Structures are given as structure tokens and as C-alpha cells.
Copies of this chain bind each other. A is one copy, B any other.
Amino acid sequence: MTRTLDLAVIPGDGIGPEVISQALRVIMASLENTDVDVATTEYNLGAEHWLETGETLTTETLEQLREHQAILFGAVGAAPNDERIPSGILEREILLKLRFAFDHAVNLRPSRLFPGSVSPLSEPGQIDFVVVREGTEGLYAGNGGQFKTGTEHEIATEVSINTAHGVRRVVRDAFQRANARRKKLTLVHKHNVLVNAGKLWNRIVNEEATNYPDVTVDYLHVDAATIFMVTDPARFDVIVTDNLFGDILTDLAGAVTGGIGLASSGNINVDGTAPSMFEPVHGSAPDIAGKNIADPTAAILSGALLLRHVGLCEQADAIEAAVERDLAALVDAPAAPQRATTEIGDAIIAQLSA
């Protein structure tokens, strides 16, 4: 008797399709000799679809996506010089719309410096932390406006909206993760300036802390957090923060741990009311698209997060271990030529059965 893992796949734009096809290969390979079958349904969303139809993501497609167990997402985004596509529309109306519609409360972004991956820091230390980024609120609420637009008296606003409900569920998730790891939680905010949101985040972290007596809680202003990210990233275990600070810190964390080509993420619906979505942190990178040179590792590691999320923990661990061995093998081959996207996929699959 076999079980079926029913995945929606959104390859998207640029390098999205290339990296997602490697991620799928690795997922399949990890499930060989198990009783799990994978069924994939591909959804063609992104620049091309928009140019053909004028649609980003319809309610109908959204409802189809909702039926799947999980979503594997590549990247969306037009080339910066493509003037046919309004700037940011694909990101907002596809990626952000999915995060909001499927209530992806927790944007989970692990950062590890694997042996063999090269940090721009001269003494990076042992980096192994996760950023638990709030995924549905803050400055991403799309709440703001323009007044006297285009004049010398224009005023433009952006409103960060933070709810106790939204903050609590991400803080709780972060405490659970910290409790299962090295038991250290760092709240990152800017409460000396953003006093209202800051008080809410502080209150809820303090309230939840009483349920996790073994977790040490620490606080850093976001500006100071960026300093530690380059001077002592090994200090971090679990970081919990809002949507925008999480966006900024995880790109920096990706860079520090060997490049955004390795940074994976999961957009997690914490109460199971809609599918969670897994995607590399990197974007569509139109400049290197179609050349078979993009690094699929971030997408592959996002596949591992997906498998863990649906309870296939052994396979998730196996993929992460395979990536680790693949990168470690590079240590002894420092002068190796840049590997093709497909070669990296091959190598990780080979490591899976090594």
C-alpha cells in the first residue's frame, strides 16, 4: 500500500524552473524504496503567464492550490528592464498573495554554514541558527497610500500592522523551535523607535517565555543584530522577528553562510488550514536564467523542509546530510570549475545513496 504526497509546483520565472526541477528530482530520489508516491501538479504562474493572460493569480487557481498538501515554489519576478511588467506586481500578486491567502504565519529560514561553503567572513565560526520571520503582517500589510501624488506636497505612507494573534503564533513557534534546539531565543526589533509595535512584541515574548523556562531570551535592535551577523553569527540559535526585519536579516544571513544560493525557506501555515509553501530565499535572477548555472541547493534544501513538514523527517534529514556531504566534498576540490545546475542535482542525488 502506498501513500501519495500531493504537491503543487510553481516553478515561476527566471531560474525558478531550473532549480525546482532539481529539487523535485532530489525529493523523488529520497522517496525511492519507501511507500510514498509523489503526485505533482504544475501551475504556470509568473511573467509569461501574465504577459499571455494579464492574470497573476486568480481566485480559481488559488482554490485549486489550496487542495494540495504542500506547495513547492521557485521564484517570480520579471527582469528589471522589462517594462511590459509593472514593477513588483508578480511578487505582490503571486508570492505575497499566497503567503497571505494561505495564512503563512511563520516564514522559517534556517541558516547554517556547511563545511565547504564559503563565507565572506574571515572567521565565521559555527553558524547554525533559524530565523522565524512573521509572514502575514507588519509593513507587508499593503496598508498605506499616496496623497497629492506627483506634486511637491506629496505624502506617502506605509503602515505596519501588528496583531497580538499574529505575533503570538510566530513567537510560540519560535519558542518551540528554541526549546528543541540550543534553547536561546533572540527577539529582534527596534522598540526604542517603533514603540507601539515594540511593546506588543515585547509583551508577547515575555508572556510566552513563562511557558519555556529553559529557553534564554535575549533582545537586539535590528541595527545591532546586523553587526552581530557579521562579527559573531555563531551566537544566534533562534531569531524571532517581524516581516520586514526578517526579510533583511535573512538575506544578510544567507550571504554570511555562503551565499543566497544555499538559503532555503518554508512559509508555514501553523494550524493546518491551508497548504504550506517552500521556496528558496533567492529570487528569479533573470541575468543567469536558462544557462544551467544557477545553484539549485537552496531549492533542494527547501524540498527537505517540505518533506519534514509533511512528516517525512527521515527523508528530510537524508537530503540535508546529502547536501552537507556534497559541499564537504568541495573542500578537497577547491579549484573545481563551477558546476552546472544539473550537475549539482546529480551530485546530491549521488550523495543520497552514498
A binding-site residues for B, Cβ under 8 Å: 87-88, 91-92, 96, 120-123, 139-140, 142, 144-146, 148, 150-165, 168, 190-200, 203, 222-224, 226-227, 229-231, 244, 247-248, 250-252, 254-256, 259-260
Contacts and interface: CB of A to CB of B under 8 A. Distances in A.
Nearest to A139: B194
Contact of A192 (B88, B123, B155): B88
14 contacts: A92-B193, A120-B121, A120-B123, A121-B121, A122-B122, A139-B194, A146-B200, A148-B164, A153-B164, A156-B199, A158-B197, A160-B160, A190-B244, A222-B248
Contact of A88 (B139, B161, B193, B203): B193
A139 B146 CA distance: 16
A152 B197 CA distance: 14
A168 B226 CA distance: 28
Nearest to A248: B223
A194 to B, nearest CB: 5
Most buried by B among A229, A231, A244: A244
Given A199-B156, A200-B156, A256-B230, A91 B192 contact: yes
A247 B230 contact: no
B199 A226 contact: no
A137 to B, nearest CB: 10
A227 B260 contact: yes
Contacts of A191: 87-88
List the 4 shortest-distance A-B pairs measured between CB atoms, nearest first. Answer: A88-B192, A223-B251, A122-B122, A226-B252
Nearest to A146: B196
A142 to B, nearest CB: 8
Contact of A196 (B156, B161, B229, B251): B156
Contacts of A140: 193
B226 A158 contact: no
Contacts of A139: 160, 193-194
Given A121-B230, A139-B160, 7 more contacts: A88-B191, A120-B122, A140-B193, A152-B168, A155-B163, A156-B200, A230-B252
Contacts of A244: 190, 193
A227 B195 CA distance: 28
Given A152-B164, A162-B155, A193-B96, A227 B199 contact: no
